[in-house]
Structure 1
Amino acid sequence: MKISRLEAGFNYAVLSLFTISALLPLVGVVLSALTPRAEATGGLAIPSSLAWSNFKAAWAEGHFTVYMRSSVIVTVAVVALTVALASAAGYGFARLDFPGSTPLFFLLLIGLMLPAEAFIIPLYYNLRGMGLTNTYWGLIAPQVAQSLAFGTFWMRNNFKQFPTSIIEAARLDGASEWRLMWQVALPALRPAVLTMCLLLGMWTWNEFLIPLVMVTDESLRTAPLGMAFFQGRRSTDYALLAAGGMIVAAPVVIAYAFAQKHFVRGMLGGASR
């Protein structure tokens, strides 16, 4: 269906307005991060010179070496464990017929409806009783459990869309269900898996509440939590705060920039059919 020039122009005008609204705050943060500290006021202004040293100062004063290392460890572990468990569970729910599979799947989906705030206090006491607070496992295990419902739902839908003829042909050749999942289906579902990895990585990297409650040791603080403490110490140093914010956000932005094609393919279709 063709649309008129007037309608197309209106659509582009609306999209441009939303694009500017989304980019304007980001431009303000970038400009603040590059403004000399003596000139930074927190507003949207063009700096007289580009102070790249703000990033070095923010990294050193904010102890981001420690915080970024913790975030990388936690994010990689959560994504790897969730992908492995969600792939196995998703394949089981999509391709295996076992008693109670449908009620069990819907029971699992309750995890999508529960916010972390609803269970964070009993979770803290449970992990403290197990000696897992102030450890990496105290950060990793809750976030794996929190992500597993979405991961299973995502992989189940993609395994269901995978061509049944390929599955049946592999079964006739004697392939086990385990081999079917890892060597036949998953390689074809790579865009969907990469999309899930990117989403899980972004959510895990930005998680704030669980690290805030589960750890008090500075060496275990993740980047968003470390940024909050840095903000408390430098509440009026707008240039360093903006630089610190960009440091924390950079890994997610870079990951999306490199994986955006796979991300779009995974969101739109999953496996090639």
Structure 2
Amino acid sequence: MRVGIGVRYGILIVLAATVLVPFLGIALAALHPPGSQVGGLGPPDDWSLEAFTLAWERGGFTDLMRSSVLIAVCVVPLSVVLATLAGYGLAVLKVWGGRTLSAAFVLGLTLPVELVVVALYFNLREVGLTNSHLGIILAEAALFMPFGVYWMQTHFSSVPKELIEAARIDGAKDVGVLLRVLLPVSWPAVTTLSVLYFMWSWNQFLLVLVMMQDPERRTAPTGLGLFVGQYSTDVPLLAAASLIVIAPIVLVYLAFQRNFVNGITQGAIKG
């Protein structure tokens, strides 16, 4: 028994080290003075935060971060609301053609962005939505919808039918059942979906690169891609820029860690 527990902890430690050691290396590299040589995981001789300031200024991250925040803040609530309504309609209301719609959403999970980005560009260009934040927001919301609908439909299907029937007996309408009965017990699932949507929206690269021609209106990950091409030999600057881009994701995950883990755990158990 003790041997089995030791093996499990050993595996977890190895996996944690596999994830954390690269981040440690990036953090140590970013603390070197700009332009200095970085050797492995060794700490810098002269500790400096100048690389962060210089990377922020040279990369134009003020505008890039503003665009990323704007897009993510719009995409997440829009997508979560639509996915919740669609999942509720398919799982609880049993709308007409629900099986076909569910199969279509599942099929949409297999659709990569690379396959549709060119056609999407020409379609949005016809209605004047290229090179605009609105076009990116609508495109991301549509691309994220299949997973969100599948996630919420699966969650609502696992809710005890007796809970819904009791609410209907008490006179609750469809909207009341959703808002007063299902959503209060669905907070972990909704939070998990929101965090995933934020991560996907923040990390979106190809779609923004194709749709947004104005470099100053692009997002932080696309700006980081151009930054790497310009300062490929300055490791401290690259490390600092990378940490700047991933910092919001880490903060959001830490803020909603408990609900995120609960949502993932519930989905795994119920699945």
- Shared fold per TM-score greater than 0.5: yes
User: 66, 72, 76: which one pairs with 1:75?
Assistant: 72
Give the Cα–Cα distance (whole angstroms) in 2 for the partners of residues 87 and 224 of structure 1.
Answer: 28
| Pairwise CA distance, 1:97 | 2.5
Give the Cα–Cα distance (whole angstroms) in 1 for the partners of residues 95 and 14 of structure 2.
Answer: 52
Is residue 55–residue 244 contact of structure 1 (8 Å, CA) maintained in 2? yes
Give the Cα–Cα distance (whole angstroms) in 1 for the partners of residues 35 and 82 of structure 2.
Answer: 51
User: 102, 107, 127: which one pairs with 2:99?
Assistant: 102
Give the Cα–Cα distance (whole angstroms) in 2 for the partners of residues 268 and 213 of structure 1.
Answer: 36
Give the Cα–Cα distance (whole angstroms) in 1 for the partners of residues 48 and 206 of structure 2.
Answer: 33
Which amino acid counterpart does residue 154 of structure 1 have in structure 2? W
Is residue 37–residue 237 contact of structure 1 (8 Å, CA) maintained in 2? yes
Is residue 42–residue 238 contact of structure 1 (8 Å, CA) maintained in 2? no
Is residue 129–residue 135 contact of structure 2 (8 Å, CA) maintained in 1? yes
Give the Cα–Cα distance (whole angstroms) in 1 for the partners of residues 35 and 115 of structure 2.
Answer: 44
| Pairwise CA distance, 1:175 | 1.6
Q: Percent identity?
A: 43
* Partner residue, 2:202: 205
User: 253, 258, 263: which one pairs with 2:260?
Assistant: 263
* Partner residue, 1:173: 170
Is residue 36–residue 234 contact of structure 2 (8 Å, CA) maintained in 1? no
The answer to whether residue 125 in structure 2 is matched with residue 128 in structure 1 is yes
User: 4, 7, 14: which one pairs with 2:4?
Assistant: 7
* Partner residue, 1:150: 147
* Partner residue, 1:19: 16
Is residue 32–residue 48 contact of structure 2 (8 Å, CA) maintained in 1? yes
Is residue 76–residue 198 contact of structure 2 (8 Å, CA) maintained in 1? yes
Deviating more after overlay: 71-80 vs 32-41: 32-41
Which amino acid counterpart does residue 70 of structure 1 have in structure 2? S
Is residue 91–residue 156 contact of structure 1 (8 Å, CA) maintained in 2? yes
Is residue 42–residue 239 contact of structure 1 (8 Å, CA) maintained in 2? no
| 1:188-208 CA distance string (max 9 Å, x none) | 211110010001110110010
| Pairwise CA distance, 1:173 | 2.1
Deviating more after overlay: 44-53 vs 59-68: 44-53
Give the Cα–Cα distance (whole angstroms) in 1 for the partners of residues 39 and 85 of structure 2.
Answer: 48
Is residue 34–residue 50 contact of structure 2 (8 Å, CA) maintained in 1? no
Deviating more after overlay: 243-252 vs 14-23: 14-23
SS in 2 for 1:46: coil
Cα RMSD of the aligned pairs, angstroms, is 1.6
Deviating more after overlay: 37-46 vs 188-197: 37-46
Q: TM-score, normalised by structure 2?
A: 0.94
Deviating more after overlay: 8-17 vs 78-87: 8-17
Is residue 25–residue 41 contact of structure 2 (8 Å, CA) maintained in 1? yes
| Pairwise CA distance, 1:13 | 2.4
Give the Cα–Cα distance (whole angstroms) in 2 for the partners of residues 10 and 166 of structure 1.
Answer: 42
| 1:177-221 CA distance string (max 9 Å, x none) | 122112221122111100100011101100101001001112320
Give the Cα–Cα distance (whole angstroms) in 1 for the partners of residues 51 and 235 of structure 2.
Answer: 10
Give the Cα–Cα distance (whole angstroms) in 2 for the partners of residues 234 and 103 of structure 1.
Answer: 50
* Partner residue, 1:246: 243
SS in 2 for 1:67: helix
* Partner residue, 1:193: 190
Give the Cα–Cα distance (whole angstroms) in 2 for the partners of residues 34 and 20 of structure 1.
Answer: 21
* Partner residue, 1:36: 33
Q: TM-score, normalised by structure 1?
A: 0.94
| Pairwise CA distance, 1:224 | 0.1
| Pairwise CA distance, 1:42 | 6.3
| Pairwise CA distance, 1:235 | 1.4
Give the Cα–Cα distance (whole angstroms) in 1 for the partners of residues 156 and 39 of structure 2.
Answer: 49
| Pairwise CA distance, 1:114 | 0.6
Give the Cα–Cα distance (whole angstroms) in 1 for the partners of residues 219 and 35 of structure 2.
Answer: 29
Give the Cα–Cα distance (whole angstroms) in 2 for the partners of residues 209 and 178 of structure 1.
Answer: 38
